Amino acid sequence: NAGVTQTPKFQVLKTGQSMTLQCAQDMNHNSMYWYRQDPGMGLRLIYYSASEGTTDKGEVPNGYNVSRLNKREFSLRLESAAPSQTSVYFCASGRGRDTEAFFGQGTRLTVV
Amino acid sequence: GESVGLHLPTLSVQEGDNSIINCAYSNSASDYFIWYKQESGKGPQFIIDIRSNMDKRQGQRVTVLLNKTVKHLSLQIAATQPGDSAVYFCAETRRDDKIIFGKGTRLHILP
């Protein structure tokens, strides 16, 4: 099993460009999450989805949108990228409440 | 707002010694806690968890202690090895299903 797969692994965007980060899990998990990790800031929750068809804001949702396409896939969209969105983005999935989340390998995004 | 935090950003430990990484949390409604290990260039990896109805849980070479009175978590690593070098995060799961992370502690192993 691949676990949690994120694409792309690296991306450079110009300010104002849009893009979608893709995430898929093959563990039949209900919950999925998007985090960003900046140096010295730990992981901050952007959005999460407790089940297919539901999404909710996390700690830092501004500038992002998400889609829970089906149980396997949870995408993160940047409509108009800004340099402040330069970060490493992690997708994660879990069985549900009070269970651990499993993480992908991350997408390193640079906005110039 | 409420957050999970850590006392020390960097911890240096002699190889073979025990390591203790501390974490404070402020949300008294949190009922599930997780420790993650993150190696350079990789995603966080689950180490051990503990529920709020427990005080202690042991795994292989790791122990997590939970003190609900003072809202404090610790991760103890026995006989620290070079492969334990990483950043360690505590995280809490809140009743709205959010998993919130602390800032992390870098564990550095001295030869």
Kindly tell me if the per-residue pLDDT of A40 is higher than 90.
no
Q: In the Cβ-directed half-sphere of A6, how many Cα atoms lie within 13 Å? A: 26
pLDDT value of residue A1: 65
Cis peptide before A61 (omega within 30 of 0): no
* A51-66 pLDDT per residue, tens: 999 999 999 999 999 9
Closest by Cβ to A97, choosing from B46, B97, B102: B97
Helix (H, G, I), strand (E, B) or coil at B14: strand
**Which pLDDT does position A70 carry in this prediction?**
96
Q: Which pLDDT band, with edges at 50, 70 and 90, does B7 fall under? A: very low
pLDDT at residue A42, rounded to an integer: 86
pLDDT of residue A2: 81
What are the structure tokens assigned to B82, written together?
């070079």
pLDDT band at B2 (very low <50, low <70, confident <90, very high): very low
Residues of A in Cβ contact (< 8 Å) with B43: 4, 90, 92, 103-106
Closest CA to A20 of A71, A70, A64: A64
Of B86, B103, B97, residue with least CA distance to B25: B103
DSSP secondary structure string for all residues of A8-22: -SEEEE-TT--EEEE
> Which residue on chain A is closest to B49 by alpha carbon?
A100
Backbone angles phi, psi at A84, to 5 degrees: -65, -10
Given a cut of 60, whether residue B24 has pLDDT beyond it is yes
CA distance A96 to A88: 24
Contact status of A44 with chain B (Cβ, < 8 Å): yes
CA B66 vs. chain centroid, Å, equals 10
